Copies of this chain bind each other. A is one copy, B any other.
């Protein structure tokens, strides 16, 4: 298993997020990558490669130009206006009836227009980390494009909540979506994205909602109880040409492996029927029992079975890291998906 990784994410650290009535260090932290690398190495998965540098051309196929400018300039603009901060995020949001195009030198307006929640803070190293995740993902995708059977983009920040012009939920660029578009642009007729992160992949859904050339399937905590609350329902099936090419499989709190596998097998059946050229796997393991921002009850050995089902699809597969915040078991959970896949 080719693993692509770079240390360049490490400066995206030290921001605060809100938990209940207090500020706490952001759960999406650099240590996540370290424990995953260690567990992978313990399992013999040591074929780690540095990413190749990419420009923003592939990202610009998915994301709006102003949005890219926002991501790059957000922290410097904030610091210039308000001084250093560990809590650079919007307090007010450009909802319906408000202007959606901010002045591009007004960081407060930009945050209000280009983020949908308070969970994607900016620090000085955020843009470098975003770029690094993009490089990691594209390098891994190119390997698969060039014939490598499977590759793992071990990156952060994650991406699946980000849409073309909105960041949120720890996500800035939608790495998986950018990779899927790259496969399409390089000649794949059909791409499937299977999102097994605990949270609904609302950003990816929005990006491909009216398209039939990218199938999106998300397994997640149901929006009745779970973030992002307004999206992720089973009746969101796509629009226009995309009708029938968006499949949400929401599950209730406390979901265990049997129920989860049932949904995953339904997802696998849909992928098979679609017959894509390549699979992009949005790999979150915040489905783990005890994840600080999850609500399912999967156990560490269960992740082997997830990997086996994915392997059963028999497709060239790009794994892209998304969520998973229970640090102690995180490495083994991720490793188990990959070893299950390799054994599958």
Contacts and interface: CB of A to CB of B under 8 A. Distances in A.
Interface in A185-241: 202, 206, 223-225, 227-231
Chain A interface mostly: loop
Given A16-B21, A106-B224, 14 more contacts: A18-B87, A20-B85, A21-B23, A22-B23, A23-B23, A95-B116, A96-B100, A97-B163, A98-B206, A98-B228, A98-B230, A99-B230, A103-B224, A118-B118
Given A23-B21, A23-B23, A93 B116 contact: yes
A99 B229 CA distance: 9
A206 B16 CA distance: 33
Given A85-B21, A228-B92, A109 B223 contact: yes
Shortest Cβ-Cβ A-B pairs, 6 listed = A92-B117, A109-B229, A95-B116, A93-B93, A99-B230, A21-B87
Contact of A109 (B100, B112, B202, B230): B230
Contact of A18 (B91, B99, B117, B166): B91
10 contacts: A91-B117, A92-B116, A92-B119, A92-B227, A95-B116, A97-B166, A97-B206, A98-B116, A98-B228, A106-B224
A304 interface: no
A252 B171 CA distance: 34
A154 interface: no
Nearest to A18: B91
A113 interface: yes
A272 interface: no
Contacts of A20: 85, 87
Contacts of A230: 94, 98-100, 102, 109, 112-113
A28 interface: no
Nearest to A229: B109
Contacts of A21: 16, 23, 85-87
Contacts of A92: 116-119, 168-169, 227-229
Contact of A93 (B95, B106, B109, B202): B95
A202 B98 contact: yes
A108 interface: yes
A94 B95 contact: yes
